[in-house]
Chains A and B, each alone.
Chain A
Amino acid sequence: MSKAKKKVRIAFFDFADCEGCQLQLLYLNEAFLGVLEHCEIVNFREAISERSDDYDIAFIEGSITRKHDEERLKKIRGNAKIIIAYGACACIGGINGLRKRFTQDEAKEIVYKGREFPLEAGEPRPVHDIVKVDYYIHGCPTNNDETVKVLKSILLGKGYKVPNHSVCVECKLKENVCLFEKGQVCMGPVTRAGCDAWCISNGNTCYGCRGLLDNPAEQGQIDVLKNNGYSLEELTQRFDLYNACRMEADKK
């Protein structure tokens, strides 16, 4: 077989998470078969029994928590040419970061109430805290349009840059009424776009699952929320739902 025709080998790995992002792929329908024309899936524990250590692209789903998960991830980095952090838990730590409001001992105490917990609790971290990440596919869950776009861009050798403007931009294009005008709190102004204002367009608010912008106008957001009668504590809660890992890193 000539080199040009060789299929790109893709592997999926999951760490601490709900596996919802992997599942998204099963809704690709026939596009899934289209992907298979150019790629070969060699590791996808949730859906297939085959396994291989020979792959080009590794999708990493989930936060990294324990020592042996770190080791496993480093091994994957050694095998893969490209690492994609796939979904909020992998990209930014996601809701696993909520655990960081407590120390490991406090968390164990809440869950086990004085009984011994013999296993390592671990610290939830995004993938880039452990190894170099080449591409990010954000979201909780990810959306398939973006996943296919990223995969196509990589296969064409174009690369992919995640949007660095706020969800508000996309929300305006969807012609939604601004939630602040409706007396509701929204994370849209400081959250990275790319979801097409998914939640707001369905009557809910933005929860910030795609992570803070590189340079969010945090003070601006805080002012707006305060002007609408929300306390700083409530704001922090809104911020840390998905962004606790980032907030901790920013403090350092």
Chain B
Amino acid sequence: MSEQLAKKELDINVEYLTRVEGHGNIVINIKKGIIEKCELQIIEAPRFFEAMVRGRSIFEVQHITSRICGICSTGHCMASIKASEDAAGFKPSEQTNAFRKLLLHYETFDSHLLHIYFLVAPDALGAKSVLPLVATHKDVVLRALRMKKQYSDLCDILAGRHTHPITCCPRGFTKLPTQKELKAMRDILKSQEDDLMITVDTIKSLAPKLPAFERETEYIALTHPDEYAFLDGDITSTDIEGAIKPIDYRQAIHEYHVAHSTSKHSKNKRGSYMVGALARININFDKLNKLGKSVANTLGFKTPCYNPYMNTVAQLIEIAHCYADSLAIIERFIKDGVDYDQVVSSWPRVDEKESFSCNSGKGVGAVEVPRGLLVHDYDIDSKGIVNNANCVIPTNQNLANIDLDLKKLVPEFINKPKDEITLLAEMLVRAYDPCISCSCHMLDVKFV
């Protein structure tokens, strides 16, 4: 223990941490240099989603689990649909997968953008929130609002709305975009290129100001042989040889419960691991498309990167990647056309209902959502009714890693004034972009 640390008394208690999604406290107690407490406490009201979906049909379960979280609703929708389809034995078409990928891209860049501009930028610009920035950096605020509105318009076209998408359901989409709508989406994206590049410049100027802190940890993300995995892939860890099939997710993800949190924690080989943009890029950097790689280059981003504050930079690289990939998907459908015969009804129609039956048993859907790997795991009967459910939430998987980061961070910066340490701790938690509504969904708890 360093001499300064040995004398140190520190008592930090950030109640209801702001600019994160959901309710959490940061508590740091150091008595005579000994860290007594250094943790992120989760105090979100439990909602018992596992009980909520029990006895419900797979045709409404994605509607329910989407409500776990307003920011990640599309991600939950996708993981839920994939788990239901896996269990029921439905195989989505190639077209359906392409549009799902597109919708997931929209959520990824919208969520990353929210994080970069509304949650992180105020810290970097020395403001308490985005509101004072209206006076000091109006162009930045207007750009952020403009870009968010455009993403919301894109989601309106493809999914009916951004929060809790309407059109995507098991078996496919209830509505598919017309040629006019495809062109409208393309034009919106194209009109955004300048704003995106200015965002890269903004982050480039802010990135050097991010705290210099590193802690190497285990990184887990989906991988796919042909692409930067979001919608499909196998679970890959920097600590394990080979990839794990989604259905075997418990081989890598061990969930457990701790006293200071109403959310589950996760670990694999070590005390913790990280999921999210930084984990994905550390594992899948070579699968980024040209624009993603060029933005990484502009930002001077190199893998492996062990600085959790750089998660924000990794998010921006993913925005660029998703931007280019979205345009490619849309251009393809403008060129090749859309098969509108694939429109489905959200529930079996009355004529299908009598004879409706599906495979029964277990199904797992694993998807990369903005904050990391999300797994939904259902047991269903042959009528498609869910008997049991488990969801593994990205933020839960990161909680143990955040605690360990805090425990390394605080001693390293112990000579700084309390206010500064508090801010560093808050910024660290925010860098993970935690989504506490998601984390505290209160599903099956596994002890190891």
Contacts and interface: CB of A to CB of B under 8 A. Distances in A.
A170 interface: no
B353 to A, nearest CB: 7
A203 interface: yes
A200 B243 CA distance: 41
B186 interface: no
A25 to B, nearest CB: 11
A45 B426 CA distance: 14
B437 A17 contact: yes
A205 B349 CA distance: 11
A119 B262 CA distance: 8
Contacts of B443: 111
Interface string A186-219: 0000000000001101111101000000000000
Given A48-B130, A66-B45, A29 B54 contact: no
Interface stretch (A1-9, A91-99, A126-134, A153-161): A91-99
Nearest to A122: B45
Interface residues of B, number: 74
A112 B442 CA distance: 9
Contacts of B131: 36, 41, 48, 50
Contacts, number: 197
Contact of A99 (B47, B68, B160, B447): B47
B16 A99 contact: no
B91 interface: no
Contacts of A51: 18
B96 interface: no
Interface string B35-77: 0000000001111101111111100100110011111010000
Contacts of A166: none
B345 A198 contact: no
B164 interface: yes
Which range holds the interface residue count of chain A? 35 or more
B350 A26 contact: no
A141 B445 CA distance: 29
Nearest to B155: A27
A141 B70 contact: yes
A59 B80 CA distance: 31
Contacts of A98: 51-53, 56, 64
Nearest to A237: B56
Interface string A137-148: 000110000000
Contact of A202 (B22, B48, B152, B175): B175
A121 interface: yes
B45 A65 contact: yes
A18 interface: yes
Nearest to A22: B70
B118 interface: yes
A76 to B, nearest CB: 14
Contact of A50 (B48, B128, B161, B447): B128
B163 A23 contact: yes
Contact of A19 (B22, B128, B148, B351): B22
Contacts of A32: 145
Interface of B: 16, 18-23, 44-48, 50-57, 60, 63-64, 67-71, 73, 114, 118-119, 122, 128-131, 134, 141-142, 145-146, 148-149, 152, 159-164, 166-167, 169, 173-175, 257, 262, 343, 345-347, 349-351, 353-354, 437, 442-445, 447
Given A22-B70, A110-B51, 8 more contacts: A15-B45, A26-B118, A27-B148, A27-B152, A98-B56, A183-B349, A202-B160, A203-B343
